């Protein structure tokens, strides 16, 4: 499997945006590249607005910890999606 996996694919590097600990370090560049890969299925302006909102959120609004225990990344993003859905 390692032999056929494309480590040179920029998408792999751009997925760093899923790491909540890197939130403050990210630029919009990974989002642009990922939306370009998806193509017309994604509205780039809406995605940019959502990303900017995510970066502007206070850390108190969401956390990677719950009761002193580290949450899983999928649970973290599930909670972020609930916030977004509530805004719609």
What average pLDDT does range 24-53 have in this prediction?
83
Vertex 32, ends 4 and 22: CA angle to 5°? 80
Q: What is the mean pLDDT of the chain?
A: 78
The pTM score is 0.65
User: pLDDT per residue over 5-37, tens digit each?
Assistant: 677 778 888 888 888 888 888 888 888 888 888
What average pLDDT does range 64-78 have in this prediction?
80
What average pLDDT does range 45-69 have in this prediction?
79
DSSP string, 10-73: HHHHHGGGG-GGGGGG--SHHHHHHHHHHGGGS-HHHHHHHHHHHHHS-GGG--SEETTEEPPH
Per-residue burial over 45-74, b if 16 or more Cβ lie within 10 Å, else e, is: eebeeebeebeeeeeeebebeeeeeebeee
- The residue ranges of every structural domain in the chain are 10-87
């Amino acid at each position: 499997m390692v032999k056929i996996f494309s480590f040179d694919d920029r998408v792999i590097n751009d997925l760093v945006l899923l790491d909540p600990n890197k939130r403050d370090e990210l630029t919009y560049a990974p989002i642009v590249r990922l939306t370009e890969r998806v193509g017309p299925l994604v509205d780039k302006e809406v995605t940019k607005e959502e990303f900017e909102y995510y970066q502007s959120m206070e850390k108190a609004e969401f956390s990677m910890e719950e009761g002193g225990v580290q949450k899983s990344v999928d649970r973290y993003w599930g909670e972020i999606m609930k916030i977004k859905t509530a805004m719609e």
